[in-house]
Amino acid sequence: DIPTTRSLAVVKTGENVIRETSLPGAILTRVASSHIRVGTFQYIATRGDIKTLNILVNYAIDRHYPNLKGTKNPALSLLKAVMEKQIELVTNWMRVGFIHGVMNTDNMTISGETIDYGPCAFMDTYDPETVFSSIDHQGRYAYLNQPGITKWNLLRFAETLLPLIHNEQDRAIKIAEEAINSFGAVYKEHWFKMMRKKLGLFGEETKDETLITTLLSWMHQNKADYTNTFCSLIKEKVPKDKLFQDSVFINWHKRWQKRLKQNKKSIELSLSLMRRVNPQIIPRNHKVEEALDAASIKDNLTPLINLLKVLRKPYNAHSGINAYQTPPPPSDRVYQTFCGT
C-alpha cells in the first residue's frame, strides 16, 4: 500500500465555484494520521518562535516517531526520519506511475502520507517528463522531477530546524547538509530495489542497472504503456502484441530471462513478486474524468461506484477489468488536470 490521506466524505454546498469553468461546489473531509506538514514548520520558523518550534518537534516525534524519544538531537533525528519516509513514499509513486502535480512544502506531510494531490494523474504512455497539472507550466512537478522536488522540500524542512540542531548556525547548517546530502544515494538504493521487484529480480547483479534503464528507454521510445508493459511481463513469454515484436525488446527479453535464472529461485516466485508490486489497474485519467463528469454534470454516481469497485484490489487480475486496463484513444487522452478535481 502507498501511504495516503483518505477522503471521508464529499458534501455538496449547493453553490457553484469558478475553476476552469463553473462547477458544483463541495467540501472534502480528509482523514490523516495528522495534518502536520513542512509548511507548518515553515510558518513557525518565520515567526522566530524557538519555544513553539521545539514544542512542534516534540509533538511530531510523539505522534509519528515515538522511537526517536530520548535521542541526543531530536530535531536532527526527526529530519532523518522524515527524509526516509518521504523517499519511501516517492519511490512508491514512481513504482505505479503516479504524478502528484503540486509538490509544494505545504503538501508534504511529516508522517510520510500523500496529501493534497488535486491536479494528480497516472501515466499511461511512459514518458519521464509527463506533467498534467494546468498550473505547472515549466514541468517542475513532472514525473521525472518528483525525487528532486522531494529533496528540495526536505532542504526547506531542514532550514526550519537549524536553531534546534545546533546553537551555532554554521555548525547547524553543516550538520543538516550532511544529512540531506545522503538523499541521492538513499533514493537511488530504494529506486533500484523497487525496480528489481517490478522485474522479479532477487539479489543484486552488476548488469541490473543496464537491464532496467534499457527497458525504460525502449518504453519511452516506443510510447509503451507503463502499467501494461509490466503486466505483460508477468505472463513470462514474449507478448504477441506488435509492440513487443521488435528486435530491441526481444533481445532485452532474452537478457531478462537469463537474469531471472540467476535468482536461484523458481520462476513462479519471481512472478509472484512482480504481481505484488505491479498493479493490474490504475485509476486511468480518462476513466476518472468520465466518473467526475457523470457525477458533477449528470448526478450519475454509477461510473464512480464501478471505478472504485475495480480499484479495491488493483493487483488482482479478475474479470470485468479490461475497460479499465485499456489506454485511452487519442480523443480521450487527458492532457491537463486541475486543482479542485
Do residues 176 and 168 make contact, with C-beta atoms less than 8 angstroms apart? no
Cβ 172 vs Cβ 165: under 8 Å: yes
**Buried b / exposed e across 179-215, counting CB within 10 Å, b at 16+?**
bbeebeeebeebbbebbbbbbbbeeeeeebeebbebb
The distance from CA 111 to its chain's CA centroid, rounded to whole angstroms, is: 15
Q: Residue-wise over 252-276: b if at least 16 C-beta within 10 A, else e?
A: bbeebeebbeebeeeeeebbebbbe
Only one residue has cell 512482480, namely 274
Contact call for residues 158 and 176 (beta carbons, < 8 A): yes
Do residues 94 and 130 touch, judged by C-beta distance below 8 A? no
Which cell numbers in the block locate residue 177? Answer: 547538509
Let me know: does 97 contact 198? Beta carbons within 8 Å: no
Cell 464501478 -> residue: 306
Identified catalytic residue from 106, 124, 136, 241:
106
Joined together, the cell numbers standing for residue 118 give 488535486
Annotation marks residue 225 as catalytic:
no
The catalytic residue positions are 106
